[in-house]
């Protein structure tokens, strides 16, 4: 099928590349001409395992191309996906100005029937507004349908998530649009849930909020483990073995960050309140998440007493492993808090240093993980990169002034480190 994706950010780019990979003809549209030039020359603006390769092969077969013209994209496709940013406003509500602008622009160039699909994460009832907007600016009077098709990909494994999804959600109020959407997703062999538009929009916010709730729940239980001498890993394994609960997203740590959860939870709270159904449970999820970093910094302070002028190594800056994304990264917040208290922070991340550096002017970056141990009074694990487990822990101890390890992601073997003579502190361990 012929498809266009408006917005070549994380979701738009990966979605476009994966649609092309299964055989569709895809035009990716972005109003940033520099980005379009970069993509045309074979460079990919984000780090995502497997993405560069599928972009390269599909551009070569002619199934994937890039343009800065919405008209070009809309003309050359049966289905037009909107994947533009929906950033938060200061009050937590969602800024829908990009969606509205794109809806107007699509309306201005509509000539024949098109399905307009919203892929961005939006508040319930946005589809209705998009349809109203397109009707208002649709001078040619072309037929169209609006569909909601939320995205569930995770950064760091976005290509795999998209190619092998748990489910596809299609919110459509017309059979004609639903049938076209089903054809697009046939090659992915995933269960397809057809709902009305409002329900599809709600599924996205409800799912992300539930995942964040799982994380805050286990972090609250981790605090109880610390207070009682129990072990969070054992508790999470024992709970997670119940199929109704599941072990995923029960990893205690510094709390959730990233460009999705913090913003989506805030948005869902605002949406619920606007609809007259306050969602206090989610406020507690946020409060627990915020307290998680405070509690962790207190542990560092309790051990070192005064942080001023202490050299502290930080491993990890990305908001999670396998990405270079530092948006709302708890690791960045941690570095800032330590630096604010006067600590000399020395950091390393396998992928995220270039993106982190402008946010952390006072923090020294190092080319190798091993280098953050030099002269350090403590080393903190702030992102769950697997490779930190494989560091030569036995010899690194000798580089430190005092061998204190604060594992904010519970990725290290506490017993093994203690045997090597480290003083190890994790979360709920």
For tokens 């080319």, name the residue: 367
Asked if 249 interacts with ligand UGA (CB under 6 A), we say yes
Q: Is residue 296 within the footprint of ligand UGA (CB under 6 A)?
A: no
Q: Per rule CB under 6 A, is residue 47 in the interface with ligand UGA? A: no
Residue 43 neighbours by CB distance under 10 Å? 11
Select from 75, 196, 65, 171 the least CA-distant residue to 117.
Answer: 171
Cβ–Cβ contacts within 10 Å for residue 61, how many? 11
Cα–Cα distances in Å, from 7 out to 73, 130, 213, 420?
Answer: 11, 16, 30, 50
Site of tokens 């000399």? 344
Q: Is 377 in the site for ligand UGA (CB under 6 A)?
A: no
Note whether 347 and 364 are within 8 A (CB): yes
Residue 209 interacts with ligand UGA (CB under 6 A): yes or no: no
Considering only the stretches 76-84, 153-161, 307-315, 344-352, report the one whose residues sit in contact with ligand UGA under the rule CB under 6 A: 153-161
Give the rounded distance of the alpha carbon of 428 from its chain centre: 25
Residue 385 in the binding site for ligand UGA (CB under 6 A) = no
Candidate segments 130-138, 237-245, 256-264, 393-401, binder of ligand UGA by CB under 6 A = 256-264
- Mapped onto helix, strand or coil, the DSSP state of residue 304 is helix
CA 218, 294, 413: angle at the middle one, nearest 5? 55
Per CB under 6 A, does 98 bind ligand UGA?
A: no
18 is catalytic: no
Q: Which is nearer to ligand UGA, 16 or 257 (CB)?
A: 257
121 binds ligand UGA (CB under 6 A): yes
Indicate whether 260 belongs to the interface with ligand UGA (CB under 6 A): yes
Q: How far is the CB of 264 from ligand UGA (least distance, A)?
A: 6
Q: Does 206 bind ligand UGA (CB under 6 A)?
A: no
- Interacting span for ligand UGA (CB under 6 A) from 112-120, 149-157, 298-306, 366-374: 149-157
Alpha-carbon span 70 to 407, nearest angstrom: 47
Catalytic residues: 260
* Binding residues for ligand UGA (CB under 6 A): 121, 151-155, 208, 211, 215, 249-251, 253, 256-258, 260-261, 319-320
């Amino acid at each position: 099928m012929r498809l266009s994706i408006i917005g070549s950010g994380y979701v738009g780019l990966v979605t476009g590349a994966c649609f092309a990979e299964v055989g569709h003809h895809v035009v990716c549209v972005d109003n940033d001409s520099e980005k379009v030039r970069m993509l045309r020359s074979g460079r990919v603006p984000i780090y995502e395992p497997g993405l560069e390769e599928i972009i390269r092969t599909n551009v070569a077969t002619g199934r994937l191309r890039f343009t800065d013209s919405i008209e070009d994209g809309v003309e050359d496709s049966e289905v037009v996906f909107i994947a533009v940013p929906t950033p938060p406003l200061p009050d937590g509500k969602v800024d829908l100005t990009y969606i509205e602008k794109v809806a107007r622009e699509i309306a201005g160039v509509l000539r024949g029937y098109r399905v307009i699909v919203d892929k961005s994460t939006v508040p319930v009832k946005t589809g209705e507004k998009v349809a109203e907007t397109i009707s208002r600016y649709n001078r040619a009077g072309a037929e169209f349908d609006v569909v909601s098709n939320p995205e569930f990909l995770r950064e760091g494994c976005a290509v795999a998530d998209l190619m092998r999804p748990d489910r596809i959600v299609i919110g459509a109020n017309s059979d004609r649009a639903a049938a076209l959407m089903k054809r697009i997703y046939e090659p992915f062999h995933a269960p397809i849930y057809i709902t009305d538009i409002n329900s599809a929009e709600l599924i996205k916010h409800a799912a992300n909020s539930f995942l964040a709730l799982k994380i805050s729940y286990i972090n609250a239980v981790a605090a109880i483990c610390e207070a009682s001498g129990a072990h969070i890993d054992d508790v999470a394994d024992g709970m997670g073995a119940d199929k109704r609960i599941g072990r995923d997203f029960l990893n205690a740590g510094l709390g959730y960050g990233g460009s999705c959860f913090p913003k989506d939870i805030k948005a869902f709270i605002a949406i619920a309140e606007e609809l007259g159904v306050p969602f206090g449970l989610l406020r507690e999820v946020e409060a627990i998440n915020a307290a998680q970093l405070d509690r962790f910094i207190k542990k560092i302070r309790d051990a070192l007493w005064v942080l001023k002028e202490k050299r502290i190594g930080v491993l990890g800056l990305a908001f999670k492993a396998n990405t270079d994304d530092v948006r709302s990264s708890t690791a960045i917040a941690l570095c800032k808090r330590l630096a604010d208290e006067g600590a000399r922070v020395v950091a390393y991340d396998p992928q995220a240093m270039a993106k982190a550096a402008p946010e952390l002017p006072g923090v020294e970056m190092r080319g190798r993980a091993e280098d953050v141990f030099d002269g350090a009074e403590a080393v903190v694990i702030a992102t769950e990169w697997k490779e930190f487990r494989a560091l030569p822990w036995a010899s690194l101890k000798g580089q430190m002034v005092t061998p204190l390890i604060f594992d904010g992601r519970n990725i290290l073997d506490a017993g093994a480190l203690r045997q090597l003579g480290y003083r190890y502190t994790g979360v709920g361990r």
